[in-house]
Structure formats: C-alpha cells, structure tokens
C-alpha cells in the first residue's frame, strides 16, 4: 500500500510524479526569493508548533507547493490550514494558459486525507475556500460539503470526509497502487 501522487504539466498534459515530505528550512526560505510567493510561510500562524508544513516537489527537486496541516485538538479531523502553489503554477499569480503545473490542489487535499488516516482521524479533513470559484470547485469536483458558519466570514469552510472526497484521492494516485490503497483504506475505516 503506497501513496504516489502526481500533478499535470499544463503544456503537454503529461503526468509528473511528485513527493510530499516535511518542508525543510530551505523550502520556506525559497518563498522569500523572486518570484515571491503570496504567503509568509514564517508567519506566527504558520510557525505554531501544532502546524505541520509539507513541501511538494518533483522528482528532480523542483519545489511545486507548500501546505500546512493541523490535527484538531480531539483528533477528529485534520485542518488544511493553508496550501499554496509556487508562483509559476499559482492561478492567482499566473494566467491559466501560462501555468506550469495543474492538479496541485487535488494532490494536497489527497495528501491531507492520507495524513488524516495516518494520524487516526479516519481520513476526515476540513479546509477553507478563499474564493467563490474554489468553493464551487470543491463542492462539485471533490464532493466536499459546506459547513454552515455562525458568523460572517470571507471564506467558506468545507468538510471532506473519507468516503465523500475519495474522488480527489483517485485523481492523484498513480494507477499502479491506487486500487489497492483505496480498497485497504476503505476496508479499515
């Protein structure tokens, strides 16, 4: 049973294998160099000891994305605190037609589900949609459910349960191990 995520090279629609490992200090430092990333990955919020930061890299070591995950206090779910693509693939910073890679968000959500399973949270994840377009994407493409909010917030919060969001996992696992990983994971839930 293994997790083998990939993303898609936008120029030719080819699959690119990636690894997601604990972010190194050098990965965080790279976000301060040109081209600048949107997020201060050294901020107090993301530097909290309860936040675990991960880096997504291609097999040749190219930093593609960073994500921050946090296990809820009662180990009920994993909160995907923040996720960001490198500037060359970030849809906010780079025009869609010029992006280097796509499918990064799906891979990071799938990793969040795996991280949740590995940490006893049954594959449940919670995350925020920063835009209406992302909210629609999460609901329609991933089967994520909106969580009603008590207060006025600029973002919508979503819940992706282990069964309802496996679409994301299916999209990012390589064909070789996907069926086995999903069958074993679903059986153990």
Cα–Cα distance between 181 and 185 in angstroms, integer? 6
Alpha helix ranges (H) inside the chain: 25-30, 44-47, 104-118, 132-142, 166-172, 175-187
Q: Which of 160, 31, 27 is nearest to 106 (CA)?
A: 160
Predicted confidence band at 157 (pLDDT cuts at 50, 70, 90)? low
Question: In terms of pLDDT, which residue wins out, 176 or 64?
Answer: 64
CB 145 within 8 A of CB 165: no
Residue 143: pLDDT over 50: yes
Q: Average pLDDT for residues 121-135, to the nearest whole number?
A: 81
Cα–Cα separations (whole angstroms), residue 82 to 6, 60, 118, 176: 20, 24, 19, 29
**When comparing pLDDT for 85 and 157, which is higher?**
85
Helix segments in 3-100, DSSP class H: 25-30, 44-47
Per-residue pLDDT at 176: 38
Question: Contact, 129 vs 86, CB < 8 A?
Answer: no
150 pLDDT higher than 60: no
Confidence of residue 140 (pLDDT cuts 50, 70, 90): confident
Per-residue pLDDT for 180 more than 60? no
Of the pLDDT bands very low, low, confident and very high (cuts 50, 70, 90), residue 93 is confident
**69: pLDDT strictly greater than 80:** yes
- Average pLDDT estimate for 93-113: 88
Residue 89, pLDDT score: 92
- pLDDT band for 63, please (50, 70, 90 cuts): very high
- CB atoms under 10 Å from CB of 76, counted, come to 13
Specify whether the CB–CB gap between 187 and 175 falls below 8 A.
Answer: no
Q: What is the mean pLDDT of residues 111-129?
A: 85
């Amino acid at each position: 049973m293994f997790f083998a995520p990939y993303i898609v090279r936008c120029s030719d629609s080819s699959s690119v294998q990636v690894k997601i490992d604990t972010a190194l200090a050098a990965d965080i430092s790279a976000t301060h160099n040109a081209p600048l990333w949107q997020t201060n990955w050294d901020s107090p919020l993301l530097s909290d000891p309860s936040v675990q930061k991960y880096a997504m890299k291609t097999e040749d070591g190219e930093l593609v994305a960073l994500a921050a995950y946090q296990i809820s206090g009662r180990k009920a779910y994993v909160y995907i605190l923040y996720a960001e693509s490198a500037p060359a693939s970030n849809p906010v910073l780079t025009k869609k037609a010029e992006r280097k890679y796509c499918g990064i968000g799906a891979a990071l959500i799938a990793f969040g589900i795996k991280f949740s399973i590995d940490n006893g949270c049954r594959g449940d994840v919670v995350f925020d949609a920063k835009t209406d377009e992302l909210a629609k994407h999460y609901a329609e493409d991933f089967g994520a459910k909106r969580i009603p909010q008590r207060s006025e917030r600029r973002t919508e919060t979503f819940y992706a349960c282990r069964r309802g969001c496996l679409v994301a996992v299916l999209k990012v696992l390589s064909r070789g191990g996907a069926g086995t990983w999903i069958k074993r994971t679903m059986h153990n839930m």
